[in-house]
A and B are shown apart, each in its own frame.
Chain A
């Protein structure tokens, strides 16, 4: 009797199991779609799209997890190669090559590939970063770019007519805007220069280097995926730029100091009059310095005029069992109302040229430099580089250490040696990664 009961129970359980397995097999649109975000501030756009997605896939559960950016990149790097990780990938352009070069991304469906390759919809510079030899591996979604933030009240007090238009004006204005105590120490920085954290430091030095020379420090090599370092080719200009930084951090022309509250926090605090930073700083200053009156302007020009961009790319994990729902979610995210949410909630600028954000700009004029097109103002981006973070961090460490060296004041030979050290640091890392192009 007992044995018969156990047998009957076992058979029923097996039947139930088989039935649910058959149901799942018959309905491929059930399960869980996993999305991980390194920029949690874009989460509202994903959540806003959930009802529309649910109408398409009522049996698919969507899990959206946000992490700190570095943690996110670390988790992703461990999960995806082992066949795990999220179904829908949100990848920064500098980690993107790791995934397409190692065959971890699904093929972009034809309709989305057509959008990416249409220059009227996505600027070619952004389509290129998401592609390898013309084949897109993801859909560029939003960009972060840099602009000059300036405190309009400080400018008015100093009698300055408007934001600096050239590099020389930027330094001159910084000197005029700097407030010093009677003992010579700086009370308010004319411009808060990026003096800490190698990768970020090199990026901001790189902005001025681009304006001065018309090229980036790291440029694409002749073979896809290879990188060349341009510092040696532009040694005089790079050394002069370094000396300009040193002159404005030491000596009589000093406009900034390491003991001041710096960067976005310094600008939001009124401790600095100018800052070169990305879109997110608008929301940051509004929140942390509500009394600060500020505006944004394109970065100052030198020999060249342009601004650095980084891009968030939407893609799908090749090992995902939810590829179709994931691509459909990406299709949804291209619609105006979700792109509006990205802009409003995060400040990052959507990349679709065929969408209209003028209503947002009217309400939020601080975004002018990020949203308005300026004729002749070039958008540039780092070439795909699998050693990007390491290369910029280590090279930036050398440049930032040189800022502290007062002996480089009016010392062209010393500045050239410092630039060559930075050059060699970059070359060494690229060579080790096997992507150096002489």
Chain B
């Protein structure tokens, strides 16, 4: 019996591109590199390279209008210890960030919890809270500059009913920090209301009902069920809000600008100092050193926050 002859079937002709793709699929690393390569290259170019260049420049006396850029080693970093304006900026930024992060997140959480009790109307309120988030910082700050006006501003007018004397909100070194916190909370709270709202909706209703059946009151449910289950969301919000607050600049710049013939108190914040040193005094190298310090400071804070909120 003759063995059955295998008939050579005509193989479908693949295009070169198809073959290349097939080869790439077999070699997964190559495929991943080709797929992610352009994105990674772009990321390296517009994110990593500027950071690396800033770190490099921080070791040079790079004055923007001079041709010579001598290497100065750690001199820029050592000057940070002497520079009282930098110390003021660091202190103001920390005070502002602590107040703004805590106030924003507490208000956002409280509002999100309240909105959960009015499920049907919640989206409308979330939208209302979200309007300041989409309002750009500059027009928002211009509006607040008027609100804080000592003579015609509504805040002083309102406070006068309670016997509070006229306050120069933007002219006093303490009041201006509080004023800035209020503006930032107003601007940011809507974003975190939405984030907390999503987190709260993810908590199973049955868990809360079971707790009610076991006799838990609202406070106990909040402390022992809601907050522990929200832990990853809280970590995200704390990290995000901290980064936003440490980078505060636009509202300070607009609120204190003198373009309207009324310069306010010159509140120093870290990013403002970096801008001033880089683009007003032309000390790019020193501004680079301040950037590196800001980067390290915020990253250390984030590590602490991650450790504090990690799942036990």
Contacts and interface: CB of A to CB of B under 8 A. Distances in A.
Given A195-B171, A196-B266, A261-B262, A102 B65 contact: yes
Interface string B238-276: 000000000000000000101111111110000000001
Contact of A258 (B152, B172, B266): B172
A387 B65 CA distance: 12
B62 to A, nearest CB: 11
Contacts of B280: 70, 73-74, 389-390
A291 interface: no
Contact of B263 (A99, A183, A263): A263
B282 interface: yes
Contacts of B167: 259
A260 B66 contact: no
A197 interface: yes
A258 B264 CA distance: 10
A200 interface: yes
A197 B266 contact: yes
A304 B168 CA distance: 35
Nearest to A429: B281
A43 to B, nearest CB: 16
Interface in A229-284: 257-266, 268-269, 271, 281, 284
B126 interface: no
Contacts of B276: 393
A77 B171 contact: no
A262 B65 contact: no
B259 A68 contact: yes
Nearest to A102: B65
B263 A104 contact: no
Contact of B266 (A74, A198, A263): A198
A394 interface: yes
Contacts of B282: 77, 98
B65 A74 contact: no
B63 to A, nearest CB: 9
A104 B262 CA distance: 35
B281 A390 contact: yes
Q: How large is the interface on B (under 10, 10 to 19, 20 to 34, 35 or more residues)?
A: 20 to 34
Contacts of A195: 171
B166 interface: yes
B176 to A, nearest CB: 10
A269 to B, nearest CB: 6
Contact of A269 (B64, B79, B151, B166): B151
A257 B283 CA distance: 35
Contact of B262 (A68, A70, A78, A266): A266
A389 B85 CA distance: 14
B154 to A, nearest CB: 15
Contacts of A393: 276
Given A74-B279, A397-B266, A268 B165 contact: no
B171 A99 contact: no
Contacts of B79: 432
Which of A73, A78, A259 is the most central at the interface, judged by chain B CB atoms within 10 Å of its CB?
A259
A282 to B, nearest CB: 12
A119 interface: no
Tell me if B's interface is mostly helix, strand, loop or mixed: loop
B263 A196 contact: yes
A77 B65 contact: yes
A412 interface: no
B255 to A, nearest CB: 12
B281 A284 contact: no
Tell me if A's interface is mostly helix, strand, loop or mixed: helix
A260 B149 CA distance: 9
B120 interface: no
Nearest to B173: A404
Contacts of A70: 279-280
Interface residues of A, number: 43
Nearest to A77: B64
Interface in B129-183: 149-152, 165-168, 171-173
Given A77-B279, A102-B67, A281 B261 contact: yes
Given A265-B261, A269-B151, A259 B171 contact: yes
B94 to A, nearest CB: 19
A296 B283 CA distance: 39
A404 B173 CA distance: 10
Contacts of A200: 258, 263
B258 to A, nearest CB: 6
A197 B168 contact: no
A265 B173 CA distance: 20
B260 A389 contact: no
A438 interface: no
A196 B171 contact: yes
B166 A259 contact: yes
B150 A261 contact: yes
A77 B166 CA distance: 42
Interface string A365-393: 00000000000000000000001011001
A168 interface: no
A149 to B, nearest CB: 12
B266 A264 contact: no
Interface in B181-232: none
A288 interface: yes
Nearest to B151: A261
Nearest to B264: A196
Given A196-B266, A259-B167, A397-B266, A81 B64 contact: yes
B171 to A, nearest CB: 4
Given A185-B165, A198-B266, A259-B171, A264 B261 contact: yes
A393 B279 CA distance: 14
Given A78-B64, A102-B65, A271-B151, A260 B168 contact: yes
Which of A73, A258, A271 is the most central at the interface, judged by chain B CB atoms within 10 Å of its CB?
A258
B65 A98 contact: yes
Nearest to A97: B65
Given A263-B262, A404-B173, 17 more contacts: A68-B259, A70-B280, A77-B64, A77-B282, A78-B64, A78-B279, A183-B165, A185-B166, A197-B266, A259-B150, A262-B168, A263-B258, A263-B261, A265-B262, A281-B261, A288-B261, A397-B85
9 contacts: A73-B279, A77-B64, A80-B65, A102-B67, A200-B258, A258-B168, A263-B258, A390-B280, A390-B281
A-B complex: 6 closest residue pairs judged by Cβ atoms: A264-B261, A265-B262, A74-B279, A259-B168, A197-B263, A390-B281
